[in-house]
Amino acid sequence: MKTKSSQPRKQRKRLYESPLHRRQKLVSASLDKKLRKEFNRRSMPLRKGDKVEVMRGSFKGIRSIVKKIDLKKLRVTLEDVKRKKVDGTEVHVPIHPSNLKIIEPDMTDKKRQKIVERVKGKFEVKKKEKVKKEESKEEKTKGYKCPYCGKVFNSKTELNEHEMKEHKEYTKVV
């Protein structure tokens, strides 16, 4: 049985040497009080697109959307949290996730929905746009369309035969 050390140096070493798949849980933030009741959990791993509020530091009180999550450095970059450099350019300031509170989570992720279902929380499923997928499926089911006259054929060979018979002037014979 492994024993966990309480020594700060060993805790830091464990944190720095942890693999990326374990760091995802380390990048979690506490939930808003309403969300705690709704999801029956205290905190949740951050995802790109979550709306969060900064709770500590010089940017306290700012509400913004998560722009980027850096698992190697264990930092989160927000859209509205910027600092001016000496030359005048603005740079995003990375913030530790423990200083953030999730106000509005992005529930389009299926893994996140399963997390909430596992704890038997209530939530509305926000579905992504399926219009684009349906259009692409319709195009695939149509078959092969002739670029010259617009007729549709079931196979590529039928389309090639049609082009050779009907559109000799457009096709090159090698």
Average pLDDT over residues 43-68: 94
CATH architecture of 11-118: Roll (2.30)
Q: Of all helices (H) and strands (E), which one includes residue 74? A: none
pLDDT of residue 3: 67
pLDDT of residue 143: 79
Does residue 113 surpass a pLDDT of 90? Answer: no
Report residue 69 as tokens. 């999550």
Spatial separation of the C-alpha atoms in residues 44 and 36, rounded to whole Å? 10
pLDDT of residue 142: 62
pLDDT of residue 102: 96
pLDDT digits (tens, 9 = 90+) for 144-173: 888 888 888 888 888 888 888 888 777 665
DSSP, collapsed to helix, strand or coil, labels residue 136 as helix
Neighbours of 87 (CB within 10 A): 5
Q: Tell if the pTM clears 0.85, that is, is over it.
A: no
Largest CA distance in the chain: 82
pLDDT digits (tens, 9 = 90+) for 2-38: 668 899 999 999 988 999 888 988 999 999 999 998 8
The residues spanned by each domain of the chain are 11-118, 131-166
82 bridge partner residues: 92
pLDDT digits (tens, 9 = 90+) for 77-110: 999 999 999 999 999 999 999 999 999 999 888 8
Spatial separation of the C-alpha atoms in residues 153 and 143, rounded to whole Å? 6
Does residue 111 surpass a pLDDT of 60? Answer: yes
Report residue 59 as tokens. 């940017």
Pairing of strands 63-70, 51-54: antiparallel
pLDDT of residue 135: 54
Ranges 45-49, 106-110, 113-117, 126-130: which has the least confidence: 126-130
